[in-house]
């Protein structure tokens, strides 16, 4: 349970919080005060507080650096702090930095408190931090305050301390007299602090009008404080007693608001564009880093083994990836839905059950796919092509490993580590592959060919599996391992088929050109095509990065029936996706030929292929994260159907293109199939969800008066 206080400086928040925690501990409750700060007291007339001043600065720098380094898996912590400070920026940079740092620390402690079984009391929580931003901004309007409050996660109980202005002023003067001179540098002057009384009055009114219950208590003197502590204690115990009965929780009124639990949480408008942009930037940095390592690994492999061996390696890796992601049975998507939902409802037994269910079934399926693939090679392959045969056998060994780390990364995301889930696959796996290939080449113990590189993939994948599950253990919510698993197999299986198709076909579509060239025995051309494809796929990184944070926000808006908010979010996501793709595509179109030539003269023929594929991926990015929009709005079968149509179109177009024009024909086929697939999804989204294409809505928003008319016309056409 989380409790937060707010009130002007000098209202006694810290003293009240510690007294309340002590009172609760005396009644047998595990209560603690988080992020408490008490101004120091001067030891004597010669105590200037210089050492304390220096130590506070050094401690702040190191603690903030530690949080930033460890926040790569917690995008919301960094994004929230930036969003709030940008919304209400203090006029002085020093206060802007100080309050931003405090909100960053607060986000970390708040997220930990949500998972803790303790009663965690924040004497200065989000409401207090927003009030401080408004105080040092000086001219904040109510609209900005309301937006900032919507960004802040609500506490289970919010307490306002009410103290007369004369007493507040008296306490502040006494505190300043007791503080060392150096300590006063960190304090605001008296006039600024007194101005906070009006700010917190306005905040209290905004919270009240948003149906958020505020408990106001008197903290004027010792007698009123004791009475107020007893009042708050009763509120807390009442809330705890009600939350101990989850099976009846929907029947009882919320302990703090007196309204049914289903109605207690009002819709919360968020500054979605800002948060989506910041989160997407952090995710995109990880993708860019991973893409850089992948490019280095592919450069080393392509230069060392030549076009034909690289074609074998790419063909095997394409089949391995398709089988591995099919073997996830869609749980690499559905776990993102089930695990957070069960945690929110307090059903850790079901959360543990679905995790065990997914891992067991998927790993069995992956092992079965690998065995069938290896058996097929032994029985039906051309044994004269030993390099291809050995590589495929090793690729089948990697199938269960790739399935395992895909599911492990999903668990990390479901536990809250969004970017930490990207690190193992995007950074560690390809980084280790690069090291292993370099060691093979340097040592000279083994010829660097397709089988040896595929063996390196197996080793790096095994290491990634271990790392991703260690990371999942780190993010695992308290009590999950101790919960006895419960199973809802029918519900879980019902979501599997469409998501399985989406996952497997997504990988299949992206590698269709390589697979078709491999089937038709154009192994050397498959290697050239694969390298050109790796370059073109850099253009799609922006769409993938945006989708990382778009998906959960879209699901939330759709669940609340906020179609306008969903339309605006989709438009913003499309702009971010399109902008990032264009920025990457322009230089890649120009340097494609010299870049490919650097891999070896045999790869220069891939420049036209890369340019055609780049245009195809730019068109997909211009349409935005449509597939994620369908999946997060409960239209999994629609997304799967469009994927099937896209895959069939891809194979037909690639086959026809290869037969007529060779590898460049395959590239044209892939680009056309991607474009047709994107248009088909846009039409379906318009008919089913009544959502306009993101770029169309964004362009119309430049003339707001035209939006309503265009939306109406669009919906009329889409509904026909």
pLDDT of residue 525: 77
**What sign has the CA pseudo-torsion 492, 496, 502, 508?**
positive
| 129 within 8 A of 102, measured Cβ to Cβ | yes
Name the fold adopted by 2-264. Answer: Rossmann fold (3.40.50)
Strands (E), 15-85: 31-34
Segment (H or E) for 695: helix 694-700
Q: Give the residue carrying structure tokens 């707010």.
A: 6
Q: Which residues of 45-77 are buried (b: 16+ CB within 10 A; e: fewer)?
A: eebebeebbeebeeeeeeebeebeeebbbbbbb
pLDDT of residue 364: 93
* C-alpha span between 183 and 56 (Å, rounded): 10
Strands (E), 356-503: none
Put the strands of the sheet holding 2-6 in their side by side order: 31-34, 119-122, 2-6, 157-162, 214-218
Segment (H or E) for 383: none
| 271 within 8 A of 83, measured Cβ to Cβ | yes
Burial of 479 per CB tally in 10 Å (0-12, 13-18, 19+): middle
| 129 within 8 A of 99, measured Cβ to Cβ | yes
**Four-point Cα dihedral 614, 617, 621, 623, nearest 10:** 130
Burial of 155 per CB tally in 10 Å (0-12, 13-18, 19+): buried
| 452 within 8 A of 446, measured Cβ to Cβ | yes
Paired with 6 in beta bridges are 160
Burial of 392 per CB tally in 10 Å (0-12, 13-18, 19+): buried
pLDDT of residue 524: 76
Intervals of the chain under pLDDT 50: 42-43, 46-48, 72-73, 244-273, 276, 702, 704-712, 714-720
| 573 within 8 A of 694, measured Cβ to Cβ | yes
3-state secondary structure of 163: coil
Q: What is the pLDDT of residues 585-614, one digit of tens each?
A: 898 888 888 877 776 667 777 888 889 889
Among 519, 502, 521, CA closest to 510: 502
DSSP 449: S
What DSSP assignment string belongs to 47-60? ---HHHHHHHHHHH
pLDDT of residue 400: 93
* C-alpha span between 151 and 92 (Å, rounded): 23
Bridge pairing between strands 2-6 and 157-162: parallel
* C-alpha span between 605 and 602 (Å, rounded): 7
> Is residue 189 left, alpha or beta, with left meaning phi > 0 and alpha meaning psi from -120 to 50?
beta
pLDDT of residue 260: 41
pLDDT of residue 66: 62
* C-alpha span between 40 and 176 (Å, rounded): 10
* C-alpha span between 224 and 262 (Å, rounded): 35
pLDDT of residue 399: 92
Backbone phi and psi for residue 32, each to the nearest 5 degrees, phi listed first: -145, 155
| 161 within 8 A of 219, measured Cβ to Cβ | yes
| 541 within 8 A of 549, measured Cβ to Cβ | no
Paired with 14 in beta bridges are none
For Cα atoms 551, 554, 558, give the angle at the middle one, nearest 5 degrees: 140
Contact residues for 33 (Cβ-Cβ < 8 A; gap 6+): 14, 17, 18, 21, 121, 122, 123
| 400 within 8 A of 370, measured Cβ to Cβ | yes
Residues listed for the chain: 720
Q: Which residues of 638-667 are buried (b: 16+ CB within 10 A; e: fewer)?
A: bbbbbbebbbebbbebbbebbeeebbbbbb
* C-alpha span between 97 and 95 (Å, rounded): 5
Contact residues for 451 (Cβ-Cβ < 8 A; gap 6+): 387, 390, 391, 394
Among 105, 95, 94, CA closest to 64: 105
- Residue spans per domain, the chain: 2-264, 270-495, 511-720
């Amino acid at each position: 349970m989380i409790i937060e206080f707010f009130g002007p400086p000098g209202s006694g928040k810290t003293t009240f919080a510690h007294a309340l925690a002590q009172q609760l501990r005396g009644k047998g409750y595990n209560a603690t005060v988080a992020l408490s700060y008490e101004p120091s007291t001067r030891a004597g007339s010669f105590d200037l507080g210089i050492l304390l001043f220096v130590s506070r600065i050094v401690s702040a720098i190191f603690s903030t650096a530690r949080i930033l380094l460890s926040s790569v898996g917690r995008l919301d912590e960094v994004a929230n702090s930036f969003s709030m400070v940008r919304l209400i920026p203090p006029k002085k940079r020093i206060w802007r930095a100080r309050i931003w740092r405090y909100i960053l620390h607060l986000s970390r402690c708040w997220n930990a408190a949500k998972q803790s079984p303790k009663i965690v009391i924040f004497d200065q929580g989000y409401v207090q931090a927003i009030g401080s931003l408004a105080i040092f901004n000086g001219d904040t309007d109510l609209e900005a305050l309301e937006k900032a409050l919507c960004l802040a996660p609500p506490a289970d109980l919010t307490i306002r301390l009410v103290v007369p202005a004369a007493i507040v002023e008296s306490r502040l003067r006494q505190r300043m007299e007791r503080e060392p001179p150096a300590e006063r540098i960190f304090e605001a002057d008296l006039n600024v602090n007194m101005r906070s009384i009006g700010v917190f009055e306005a905040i209290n009114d905004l919270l009240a009008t948003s149906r958020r219950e505020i408990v106001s208590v008197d903290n004027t003197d010792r007698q009123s404080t004791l009475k107020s502590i007893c009042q708050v204690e009763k509120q807390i115990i009442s809330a705890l007693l009600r939350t101990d009965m989850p099976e009846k929780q929907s029947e009882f009124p919320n302990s703090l608001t007196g309204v049914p639990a289903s109605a207690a949480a009002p819709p919360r408008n968020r500054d979605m564009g800002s948060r989506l942009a910041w989160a997407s930037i952090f995710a995109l940095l990880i993708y860019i880093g991973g893409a850089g390592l992948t490019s280095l690994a592919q450069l080393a492999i392509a230069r060392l083994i030549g076009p034909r061996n690289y074609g074998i390696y790419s063909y095997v890796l394409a089949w391995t990836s398709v089988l591995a992601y099919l073997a996830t049975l869609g749980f690499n998507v559905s776990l993102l839905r089930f695990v957070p939902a069960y945690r929110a409802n307090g059903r850790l037994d079901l959360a543990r059950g679905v995790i065990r269910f997914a891992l067991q079934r998927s790993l069995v399926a992956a092992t079965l796919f690998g065995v069938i693939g290896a058996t097929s090679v032994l029985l039906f392959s051309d044994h004269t092509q030993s390099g291809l045969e050995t590589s495929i056998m090793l690729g089948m060994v990697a199938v269960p490993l790739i399935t395992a780390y895909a599911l492990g990364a999903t668990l990390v995301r479901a536990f809250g580590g969004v970017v930490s889930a990207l690190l193992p696959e995007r950074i560690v796996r390809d980084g280790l592959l690069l090291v292993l290939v370099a060691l093979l080449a340097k040592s000279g113990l083994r010829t660097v060919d397709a089988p040896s590189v595929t063996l390196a993939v197996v080793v790096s994948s095994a290491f990634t599996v271990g790392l991703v599950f260690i990371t999942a253990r780190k993010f695992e919510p308290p009590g999950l391992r101790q919960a006895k698993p419960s199973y809802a197999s029918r519900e879980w299986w019902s979501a599997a088929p469409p998501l399985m198709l989406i996952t497997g076909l997504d990988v299949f579509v992206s590698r269709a050109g390589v697979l078709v060239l491999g089937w038709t025995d154009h192994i050397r051309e498959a290697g050239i095509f694969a390298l050109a494809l790796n370059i073109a796929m850099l253009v799609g990184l922006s769409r993938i990065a945006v989708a990382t944070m778009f998906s959960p926000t879209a699901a939330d808006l759709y669940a609340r029936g906020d179609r306008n908010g969903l339309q605006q979010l989709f438009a913003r996501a499309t702009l971010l996706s399109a902008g990032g793709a264009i920025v990457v595509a322009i230089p890649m179109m120009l340097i494609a030929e010299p870049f490919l030539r650097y891999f070896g003269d045999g790869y220069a023929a891939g420049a036209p292929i890369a340019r055609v594929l780049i245009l195809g991926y730019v068109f997909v990015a211009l349409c935005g994260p449509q597939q994620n929009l369908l999946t997060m709005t409960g239209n999994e079968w629609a997304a799967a159907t469009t994927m099937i149509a896209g895959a069939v179109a891809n194979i037909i177009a690639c086959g026809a293109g290869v037969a007529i024009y060779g590898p460049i024909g395959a590239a044209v086929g892939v680009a056309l199939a991607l474009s047709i697939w994107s248009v088909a999804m846009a039409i379906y989204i318009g008919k089913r969800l009544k959502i306009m294409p993101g770029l169309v809505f964004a362009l119309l928003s430049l003339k707001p008066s035209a939006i309503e008319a265009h939306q109406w016309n669009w919906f009329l056409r889409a509904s026909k």
